Homo-oligomer: A and B are copies of this chain.
Amino acid sequence: MPFSMNTIKRFFQITLIIILNSYVNGQNSAGRVPDYPVPYVLPSVESIMEKIDKIVSYYENSSTQQILNRETGAVIRDFTQPNKYAVVSEGLSSEWTYTHGVVLSAFDYISELTGDDSYFSHNIKFYDFVRKHLPYFRRNNEEYGRSACGWRRIMYMDALDHCGSIGAALVRTFKKHNNPEYRELIDIVDKHVSNIQFRLDDGTLARERPQPVSVWADDMYMSVPFLSQMGDLTKDEKYWNDAVNQVLQMSKRLFIGGKDLFDHGWNENSADYDPRFYWGRANGWTVMAMADLLTVLPHDFQGRDEILHIYKSLIRSVTELQDGTGFWHNMLDKSDTYLETSCTAMFTYGIAKGINEGWISHVYGPVAQTGWNAVATRILENGAVDGTCEATTFAHDNVYYFNRGKSYDATHGYGPVLFAAAEMIRLLNNTHIRIDKAKPNSINSTYHYKYE
């Protein structure tokens, strides 16, 4: 039976009014069970392992790890002759990028924690792939110039983004797989980080963009993990001294007291009046960088306590800003920005890690737990990690930050999610932690993490 336009219109209006009212009034009937947007549960180790394996499979299958002729698409197998059209096959797992560095460091960590070497084997596979074909691309580059240069960030290394993170993973790999050709690559990275990269007068690593002198919070991760690993590898204290200085001197400019968050960046030419943007991932990078450093730094090392203070203050602050879903917002202090995957994974990792290492109190357990539950909803059936904010420059207006796209193509989510997963497994297996439900038989009860 047909309906008149008016009937449909009226029906439509009434339904909408009911829905909008429920948002505005917030009233509801008696005895209502909370309607958690993300299940409020204790995840199992098995469910997390399953997520890890899905992601690893998706990630590794993203590239064939071959050398191709970009004109014909054919696989190149003869590397004795230079070839103008040679390129590395596309895909996440073939790239010499900082995001791939995070993933490779995570593979190393997962193997360490689980005892299963299959994750780490991808590291050797990747670095061998690079090492083997680098002479060939060097020759192509000499012959035909930049356009014929695979992994051009190695040959045209001119930013911390090109070397710090992928270099840190390389040192981790080298520590377990002592190949002298790896060491050559390490030295190239070390030269850039320690000697070439632009620095302020006080030694702080900096950039000449977007303004003539700018400090980026992201650069804490693009340098400190590498310096941490180098200190551990060489036992030369200069690396740890540099790493500690980077954290403290960047914090001096970027860690905003009271807010206890990192500003995305600082410009010399706006100095004390530089506007602050508390972008989620920038804060995530600092958590991960400090965690890497605190892991290797001797307990009595000068500056360690100051770093620990920053770490604890930052964790407290982000805990207070966590959304009711368990996620964090793309701009941490703005609840009208979207819920972002990569920073949520980074904070989940940083909190679980902090508890496991004893840097922060175990009372933070439910924050990591709910962070993980949120992240888990972003791991798609095929293993892709969705909802990550795309590459973001250091900008000066909220409009830019509010409106960054997000997708499973943004590679920044993969490594952090793997780290979060690994650290959550460690937390669930931590024999010093007992996890109680406040009301054991209630589906509507919080979790308390207790020390024993």
Contact = CB atoms under 8 A, between A and B. Distances in A.
Interface of A: 1-5, 8-9, 11-12, 15-16, 19-20, 24-38, 40, 210-211, 258, 267, 269-271, 273-277, 312-313, 315-316, 319-320, 322-326, 334-340, 360-367, 369-370, 377-378, 386-387, 393, 395-409, 436, 438, 444-451
A397 to B, nearest CB: 4
Contacts of A4: 1
A387 B27 contact: yes
A345 to B, nearest CB: 15
A385 B401 CA distance: 28
Nearest to A211: B363
Contacts of A364: 270, 275, 396
Given A211-B450, A366-B399, A397-B446, A335 B336 contact: yes
B403 A210 contact: no
Copies of this protein chain in the complex = 3
Contact of A29 (B271, B398, B407): B407
A19 to B, nearest CB: 7
A386 B34 contact: no
Contact of A387 (B26, B324, B398): B26
B324 A407 contact: no
Contacts of A25: 339, 377, 387
Nearest to A384: B30
Given A12-B12, A396-B363, A35 B403 contact: yes
A270 B361 contact: yes
Point out which of A16, A35, A337, A396 has the most chain B C-beta atoms below 10 A from its C-beta.
A396
Contacts of A277: 320
Given A30-B408, A270-B361, A361-B267, A322 B403 contact: no
A335 B398 CA distance: 13
A6 to B, nearest CB: 11
B370 A397 contact: yes
Nearest to A450: B211
B405 A324 contact: no
A126 to B, nearest CB: 23
A438 B395 CA distance: 9
A277 B370 CA distance: 16
A358 to B, nearest CB: 12
A150 to B, nearest CB: 23
A398 B320 contact: yes
Contacts of A5: 3, 11
11 contacts: A19-B20, A25-B387, A28-B406, A32-B406, A270-B364, A275-B363, A323-B398, A325-B399, A335-B336, A366-B396, A405-B444
Given A1-B4, A8-B3, A365-B396, A451 B269 contact: yes
Contacts of A397: 319, 322, 366-367, 369-370, 446-447
Given A322-B399, A334-B335, A407 B30 contact: yes
A278 to B, nearest CB: 9
Contacts of A313: 273
A319 B37 CA distance: 30
